[in-house]
């Protein structure tokens, strides 16, 4: 159950980040902060992102009840790998060799930290 909840934290965080990008793309033309905030209240992707962040928060508190912060938080680093990879697919963004190496190191680090919980 703990690993499932930790996975929900990561997936909901990723979903929120991607929806924030969708929302940002929909309000590119807003010239000032007030008009940006007003416009964001009408953008469904923004509401979706906030909902995902709400789920992330609740799942995170659930996880932290039973798992050390040092172990749980390292798994959240997977967000730094998954979001850019999905941005390539969804938004046609580019990644570099440096990103690929860094992402591989993050995944290896998360695996090493998670092994200590077994």
> What would the pLDDT profile of 31-87 be if each residue is shown by its tens digit?
899 999 999 999 999 999 999 999 999 999 999 999 989 888 988 999 999 999 999
| Element at 32 (helix H, strand E) | none
| Alpha-carbon span 69 to 67, nearest angstrom | 6
| Alpha-carbon span 61 to 100, nearest angstrom | 31
What is this structure's pTM?
0.89
Q: What is the 3-state secondary structure (H, E, C) of 55-86?
A: HHHHHHHHHHCCCCHHHHHHHHCCHHHHHHHH
Q: Where are the domains of the chain?
A: 2-115
pLDDT band at 115 (very low <50, low <70, confident <90, very high): confident
């Amino acid at each position: 159950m703990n690993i499932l909840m930790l996975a929900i934290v990561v997936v909901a965080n990723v979903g929120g980040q991607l929806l924030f990008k969708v929302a940002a793309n929909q309000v590119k033309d807003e010239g000032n902060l007030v008009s940006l905030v007003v416009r964001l209240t009408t953008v469904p992707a923004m509401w979706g992102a906030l909902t995902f962040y709400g789920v992330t928060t609740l799942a995170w508190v659930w996880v932290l009840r039973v798992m050390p912060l040092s172990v749980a938080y390292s798994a959240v680093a997977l967000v730094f790998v998954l979001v850019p990879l999905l941005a390539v697919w969804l938004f046609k963004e580019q990644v570099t060799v440096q990103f690929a190496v860094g992402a591989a190191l993050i995944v290896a680090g998360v695996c090493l930290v998670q092994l200590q919980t077994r």
